[in-house]
Chains A and B, each alone.
Chain A
Amino acid sequence: MGLSGDSTGTGVLKCCDGILQIEKDSEEDRVIALAGNPNVGKSTVFNQLTGLNQHTGNWPGKTVANAQGKYYYGGKNYILVDIPGTYSLMANSEEEEIARDFICFGEPDATVVVADATCLERNLNLVLQTMEISKNVVLCVNLLDEAKRKKIRIRLDVVSEKLGIPVVGTSARSGKGLNSLMEAVSALTSQKSEPHPLVITYGEEIEKAVSILEPAVQKALQGKLNSRWVALKLLDGDSGILNALKKHLQYDILANREITECLEKAWESLDESGIPREMFRDKIVTKIVQTCEEIGRSAVVYERQEYAARDRKIDKILTSKLTGIPIMLLLLCGIFWLTITGANYPSELIANGLFWVEDRLSQIFTAANAPLWVKGLLIDGCYRTLAWVVSVMLPPMAIFFPLFTLLEDLGYLPRVAFNLDNFFRKACAHGKQSLSMCMGFGCNACGVIGCRIIDSPRERLIAILTNNFVPCNGRFPTLIAVITMFFAGGAAGTFQSLVSTLMLTMVIVLGVVMTLLISKLLSKTILKGLPSSFHLELPPYRKPQIGKVIVRSIFDRTLFVLRRAAAVAAPAGLVIWLMANLKAGDSSILALCADFLDPFARLIGLDGYILMAFILGFPANEIVVPIIIMSYMATGALTDYESLAQLHTLLIDHGWTWLTAVCVMLFSLMHWPCGTTCLTIKKETQSMKWTLLAFALPTVTGLVVCFCVANTARFFGLA
């Protein structure tokens, strides 16, 4: 299987949702597109205006699909559409295509372009390109607070005058300037005054060609789009715009004889004046960039030459040969250490609390003379599993998510990508894969969606297929629990958490190494190809808003994940209880299933119950350990399980050795993706084949690794 369009799914990797359906409540509602370069605080503006919670973070590419929200201002509803951050609208990538298509065909009443005040000149490129498509553009110069800190002063009046559009300065994080922004949008969309945006003229030769072509285009499009812009795109030979016209207006522009004739003539004219077709885009871009430079020169004042000195110093430490990777590992260790130590105490507290409630509930059921099976089903089944999931999951998540979000907000993730890029290059993978991998630590489904930032189809598939090799938050508690019980048990106090931290870090590093190995393997076999060129922006560091980060990560992420886990845990508990209590012949169904799986599970160092727990954990990995405990308890006599130490005894009683623990950790790291992730992969690749491969790849790897480890250890008589 080579790298044909078919095998990589090039055709179907295109975003499946196309243009967003906008639902207006009334004809008076205004649709506003929110555009901007990546990482300029676009999502923050969106969230502040709409009160929604699009996830934000300090790295380019957070928003990969359109999102919409509403705000009310001056008696009207505004529907705000957050489109992906792009540097340009030349449609070199999927995000750019989505962004361009919405501005072109989504018929927004106005487009707000959010720009970064700390590097306005570069952002103007997108502003000018947007103005070529649409007249109704508002420039929102965001991050004014950052610019002020860096002693960069921006003369907004000059920018506005030069561009001929309304310009508003904001510091969206603190909400400053947003009222003016809404006012500007309101004024523009109520058409109090006809806007006269700057029209860039591209020099005599190009203007002549445009004048040959534009009338024909204008006639054909009947004012549906800006004909000058379409003419420029046609001259550029941009096939994307042709397809977009076909898709959104059901119009094949090149079927129009008049247009094709004029286009030929215009090209001839360009050729004669010494601009061959391949030079056309250069000329256009050069002119736009020069215009940006010119505006930048007259409107931006750098009051301190070395405005970014601090960032450079930090970067040199965080990315140097000597300290870059050690610091990265230390930070990782630090986060794990805080998570493990911090989670211990609240975990026990919650467990005690929830099991106290269980006792009271039991008493109530007994007092009410409820049948035994009802009590068993609801309390021993549903409630107990739920309680386990909550007490094991909640504390580590409530610590890990905010810490991770802080690093993300600070702008550290792109530095990780920078440090690790060499490994990814050697694995023939895309440099941004390390970003989607980092997202996988939070949730593999999010990581898979995050792979959209990779614009080469081959490398995106590699990133999607290997995302599951880093453990998500659902698997961390499993790893932490097993490590604490089996490997840090001998050590006491602080030392114990240190040992646990080191173990966990080793597991994570193993996950990263496996990601790289499998990426390389894919690159050399079914997804052959060379790494495509790419660039990675290292954005300025930003001071994270600690309070907001904590609130947001707890509410957005922790509770979300917890709710999902709980929704799965309760029914799973029910099933387990039923399986443990329904008899088929002499033994329970649970025992029968476990016995059936047992010989196979033993081969890979597990036992039947563990393997079944992994299988039942398919809807959500979080419930694997609770299921193991439930099934052991259902078959054993032990019912007291209030601490990890007692749990340890329970596991030992059921034949666990250090080898079982190692294999559980390895298999937890490398087995099938959870149900949600599988569905996401299916959606992202639009292919059953790739989804199956994404399922099989980590599973087979895990089986092979566990088999080797288990049997090597047994062969040498170690366990």
Chain B
Amino acid sequence: MENKEISLDRLPIGTRASVTSIRSNGALRRRMLDLGVISGTEIEPLYTSPSGNPVAYLIRGAVIALRSDVSSKIMVSA
């Protein structure tokens, strides 16, 4: 899986990866920028909610839960 680009929602729990791009131009992109998600930012999925969606991610030292519709638009490479 080295250097392969996948969307964040498909990244296995406990795997650290860095962001390559955000596939959205609207509010979602702005929100992610606010959280400091830019290309190169490291993200690690920590745990899933009881139903599997949303998933809690470690982003810059904070734990942020994202629904899959958001995480599927964030591309990362492990």
Contacts and interface: CB of A to CB of B under 8 A. Distances in A.
Interface of A: 87-88, 90, 92, 118-119, 121-122, 125, 278, 281-282, 285-286, 289, 292, 311-312, 315-316, 319-321, 324-325, 418-419, 421-422, 425, 431, 531-540
6 contacts: A122-B35, A278-B25, A422-B50, A431-B54, A533-B69, A535-B70
Nearest to A421: B54
A123 to B, nearest CB: 10
Given A289-B41, A320-B47, A535-B65, 9 more contacts: A87-B34, A88-B34, A319-B49, A321-B51, A531-B67, A533-B27, A534-B31, A537-B65, A538-B65
A536 B63 CA distance: 9
Contact of B67 (A286, A319, A321, A425): A425
A92 B38 contact: no
Which secondary structure dominates where chain A touches chain B? helix
B10 interface: no
Contacts of A90: 30, 33-34
Contacts of A419: 49-50
A536 B69 CA distance: 14
A431 B34 contact: no
Contacts, number: 116
Interface residues of B, number: 32
B78 interface: no
Interface of B: 25, 27-28, 30-31, 33-36, 38-39, 41, 46-54, 56, 60-67, 69-70
Contacts of A537: 62-65
B54 A536 contact: yes
B36 A289 contact: yes
A531 B70 CA distance: 11
A385 to B, nearest CB: 45
B66 to A, nearest CB: 6
A534 B67 CA distance: 7
B62 A418 contact: no
Contact of A533 (B33, B48, B70): B70
B66 A320 contact: no
Given A536-B54, A536-B65, A537-B62, A281 B33 contact: yes
A292 B28 CA distance: 21
A92 B31 contact: yes
B34 A320 contact: no
Nearest to B54: A421
Contact of A418 (B34, B41, B49, B69): B49
B27 A122 contact: no
The 10 closest A-B pairs by CB, nearest first: A422-B51, A119-B61, A324-B50, A538-B63, A285-B33, A536-B65, A88-B34, A87-B34, A533-B70, A122-B60
A119 B62 contact: yes
Contacts of B66: 535
